[in-house]
């Protein structure tokens, strides 16, 4: 039956336990992201999109700066134990920011510092989490498990922002941070409850000279992986700036309150869940899906830039979210399945650094555009990124088709 195929990874005990804990934690994560953007935009500044961009840059910049070490840690050390450490650190940081906010002591520079510290912990957590999926389900169900992870993450995106909006309006911003800090206990508990004997351990990388940069050298020799990273750089740097897009459109164009802002993030999540479920239903990822996703992202951002009202804008977020998840899931599965297991952590760290590490470049630029020319022009930057990524995909597919014809002719 089709549904059994879509949910097949949930038949595995370890994956079920991990997915349950991750869902609770993901809801808290989205509550914090929503509250953080609202805090900076409306409580600590006078609607400064540039400040939101700086927070994003500090939070995602460590993905790039710490790249040589994050991937090596993912390949070299016990992944379950690394995640217990990183998740614990992020939970404590969320509690700290929550206490500062509730007591009224929080200042903008506090948010900057916590964003940077959180980003450093996440830089080590994300590559490990990406490759740990293989330990849970093995290579045969990897693509399905990656898609279900995205479904969980984005289902939480439907719930978290909406709950955060209600919390902010009723009891204040700080409570969203505190609840997120507590939610990390769920994913930490799930890691302790796993049946270690049923894991599929990834080969551990040997300690050797040049091991930190081996992932970069490996990708540099693979034209297919380099093309995927170029597409991710364009979308991640200039397109995936949704905190800026949504917050500025909500406040400056549609003049909605915190609950209306949170609802927009939930509409985006509806699209991302749709994209993740479509990915889960596919047996294998295809490069052509990157073209479809990039083109769809460009069209969605273009429509959003011209949205005449709140509800039309919300609808465009659904389409844009589905396109974004198509790009992210396809690139994740393609890169993992075509990479040697012992180096996957470093390759996935490079992927995350490109997808998120470009934020220090793109977010301040997009924030400046939103402040100077208006939020609709900022959406236009996202649209341009989508169309540029689609052009890269077209050129790669044309090159591969030409190479295939030449090879066929020679034989």
CA atoms within 13 A on the CB side of 331: 32
The string of pLDDT tens digits covering residues 119-138 is 999 999 988 888 888 888 87
Task: Provide the pLDDT confidence category of residue 115 given band limits of 50, 70 and 90.
Answer: very high
Question: Quick one: CA torsion of 19, 20, 23, 29, rounded to 10 degrees?
Answer: -100
Q: Is the pLDDT of residue 410 over 60?
A: no
pLDDT, residue 411, reads 38
Domains of the chain: 2-401 (1.20.1250.20)
Rounded to whole angstroms, the Cα distance separating 293 from 267 reads 18
> What value does the mean pLDDT take over residues 268-288?
80
Instruction: Please report where in the chains the tokens 């399945």 appear, as a residue.
Output: 337
pLDDT, residue 187, reads 94
Q: Is the pLDDT of residue 1 over 60?
A: no
Task: Provide the pLDDT confidence category of residue 205 given band limits of 50, 70 and 90.
Answer: low
* CA nearest neighbour of 71 among 124, 5, 130, 15: 124
* CA nearest neighbour of 125 among 169, 156, 103, 93: 93
pLDDT, residue 2, reads 35
Task: Provide the pLDDT confidence category of residue 406 given band limits of 50, 70 and 90.
Answer: low
Contact 366/236 with Cβ under 8 angstroms? no
Please give the structure tokens belonging to residue 362: 């793109």
Contact 108/45 with Cβ under 8 angstroms? yes
Q: Is the pLDDT of residue 109 over 90?
A: yes
Rounded to whole angstroms, the Cα distance separating 263 from 22 reads 22
* CA nearest neighbour of 248 among 39, 48, 79, 43: 48
Indicate the range of 202-206, 248-252, 350-354, 360-364 predicted with least confidence.
202-206
> What value does the mean pLDDT take over residues 284-313?
92
Q: Is the pLDDT of residue 408 over 80?
A: no
Instruction: Please report where in the chains the tokens 């209306």 appear, as a residue.
Output: 260
> What value does the mean pLDDT take over residues 11-30?
92
> What value does the mean pLDDT take over residues 304-323?
94
> What value does the mean pLDDT take over residues 195-216?
70
Strand, coil or helix: what is 15? helix
Contact 375/363 with Cβ under 8 angstroms? no
The string of pLDDT tens digits covering residues 336-381 is 878 877 787 788 878 887 877 677 788 889 989 999 999 999 999 9
Rounded to whole angstroms, the Cα distance separating 281 from 8 reads 10
Bigger pLDDT: 112 vs 3? 112
Rounded mean pLDDT of the chain? 86
> What value does the mean pLDDT take over residues 216-232?
87
Rounded to whole angstroms, the Cα distance separating 293 from 279 reads 12
């Amino acid at each position: 039956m089709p549904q059994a195929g879509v949910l097949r990874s949930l038949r595995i005990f370890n994956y079920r336990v991990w997915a349950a804990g991750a869902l609770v934690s993901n809801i808290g994560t989205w509550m914090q992201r929503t509250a953080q953007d609202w805090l900076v935009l409306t409580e600590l500044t006078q609607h400064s999109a540039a400040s939101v961009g700086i927070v994003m840059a500090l939070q995602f910049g460590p993905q790039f700066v710490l790249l040589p070490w994050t991937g090596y840690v993912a390949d070299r050390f016990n992944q379950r134990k690394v995640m217990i450490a990183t998740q614990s650190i992020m939970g404590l940081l969320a509690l700290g920011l929550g206490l500062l906010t509730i007591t009224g002591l929080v200042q903008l520079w506090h948010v900057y510092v916590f964003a940077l510290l959180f980003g450093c912990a996440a830089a080590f957590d994300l590559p490990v989490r990406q490759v740990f999926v293989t330990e849970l389900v093995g290579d045969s169900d990897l693509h399905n498990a990656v898609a279900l992870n995205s479904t969980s993450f984005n289902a939480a995106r439907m719930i978290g922002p909406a709950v955060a909006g209600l919390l902010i309006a009723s009891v204040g911003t700080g409570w969203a941070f505190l609840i997120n800090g507590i939610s990390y206990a769920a994913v930490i508990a799930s890691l302790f409850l796993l049946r270690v004997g049923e894991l599929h351990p990834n080969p551990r990388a040997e300690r050797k000279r040049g091991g930190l940069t081996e992932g970069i050298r490996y990708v540099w020799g693979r034209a297919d992986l380099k093309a995927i990273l170029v597409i991710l750089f364009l979308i991640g740097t200039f397109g995936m700036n949704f905190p800026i897009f949504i917050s500025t459109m909500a406040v400056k164009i549609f003049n909605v309150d915190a609950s209306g802002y949170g609802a927009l993030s939930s509409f985006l999540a509806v699209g991302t869940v749709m994209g993740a479920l479509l990915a889960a239903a596919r047996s294998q990822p295809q490069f052509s899906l990157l073209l479809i996703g990039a083109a769809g992202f460009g069209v969605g951002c273009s429509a959003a830039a011209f949205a005449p009202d709140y509800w039309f804008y919300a609808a465009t977020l659904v389409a844009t979210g589905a396109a974004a998840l198509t790009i992210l899931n396809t690139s994740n599965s393609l890169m993992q399945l075509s990479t040697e297991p012992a180096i996957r952590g470093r390759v996935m760290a490079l992927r995350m650094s490109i997808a998120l590490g470009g934020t220090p470049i793109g977010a301040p630029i997009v924030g400046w555009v939103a402040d100077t020319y208006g939020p609709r022009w900022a959406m236009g930057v996202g649209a341009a990124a989508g169309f540029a990524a689609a052009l890269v995909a077209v050129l790669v597919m044309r090159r591969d088709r030409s190479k295939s014809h030449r090879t066929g002719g020679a034989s």
